[in-house]
Amino acid sequence: MPRVLITGTSSGFGLSIAVELARAGWTVLATMRDTSKRNELDRAVQAAGVTRNVSVSQLDVTDPLSIDRALAELDITAGGLDAVVHNAGVAVGGAFEDLDETSIRRIMDVNYFGVLALTKRLLPVFRAQRRGRIVIISSESAFAGQPGNSPYCASKWAVEGWAESLAYEVEHFGIEIILVEPGPYRTSIWKNSQRVLPNDSAYRPLLKHLEVTVEAYVAKAAGDPVDVGKAVARVLSARRPHFRNPVGPTAKFQHFARGKLPTRVLRKILGGFLGLQKVRW
């Protein structure tokens, strides 16, 4: 059975990816920063009847010692690895001027530097095998900026630029880089992410409007994260997967519009979609 390591599997996309790949016959090495939060994954795996295909380990992508321990525990070098799915991610909502440095750096540490750190440890394994697939769960946020979400967008733009560059360096060794770019989905990132909205913020009218508008959209139209799990299963089974793989209607539109429409037009479209003209400053 092929082996895949997945980060951030306690809920949301990571959980769905783990279950879908286990159903597809993969041996899933499911990892998460806090294994005390594994109950939701355990229940989903049991309900799917794939408990034998899934093991759970602690791995914090921002902690080099945690990465070392996890890879040693999972015996990656001796046991081999066919793919890694970088899913761990965090976000903080708020106007850039209101965000503290610690929050901004945390987003970059998890969403960008964490992907780099784990990949660097796995590349020697993939090179020795002359094969391997590196799947990165990016976002439609990598296609265009979003108000109240600038550090998260920056982290996704950064990881996509790095991935596109790395692809040149590793293709000779049979290593493939694949981006999966979901739009809005009902995951725990919406309810667990910190919202920064100071009473004295100059941006309070915009942020209050976005809070209501985005929450209403997510409740009405956000998709089931199972779709992303199935998308990952498809790209890992494909003989020649696409480099970029948008998932969901808004992501597919953004993917199409990227590079085809001027930024001012995209900003006008997104501003209209979010109803920014209704903000009373």
Alpha helices by DSSP H, the chain: 12-23, 39-48, 64-73, 76-79, 101-108, 114-129, 150-170, 188-192, 204-221, 226-237, 249-257, 263-274
Burial 33-42 (b: 16+ CB within 10 A, else e): beeeebeebe
d(CA 224, CA 44): 14
pLDDT at res. 191:
65
> Which residues form the catalytic set?
152
Q: What angle do CA 241, 245, 246 make, to 5 degrees?
A: 165
Is the CATH number 3.30.360.10 carried by domain 3-202+224-259?
no
Cβ(59)–Cβ(35) under 8 Å? no
Q: Pick the closest to residue 86 from 47, 133, 136, 143 (CA basis).
A: 136
Q: Pick the closest to residue 92 from 153, 145, 137 (CA basis).
A: 153
pLDDT at res. 66:
98
Name the residue with tokens 């046991």: 79
**Average pLDDT of adjacent 10-residue blocks, the chain of 281 residues:** 96 96 98 97 97 97 97 87 97 96 97 98 96 97 93 97 98 98 79 85 95 83 90 97 95 90 92 91 86
Predicted model pTM: 0.94
Other C-beta atoms within 10 Å of 220: how many? 7
Name the residue with tokens 């999966």: 180
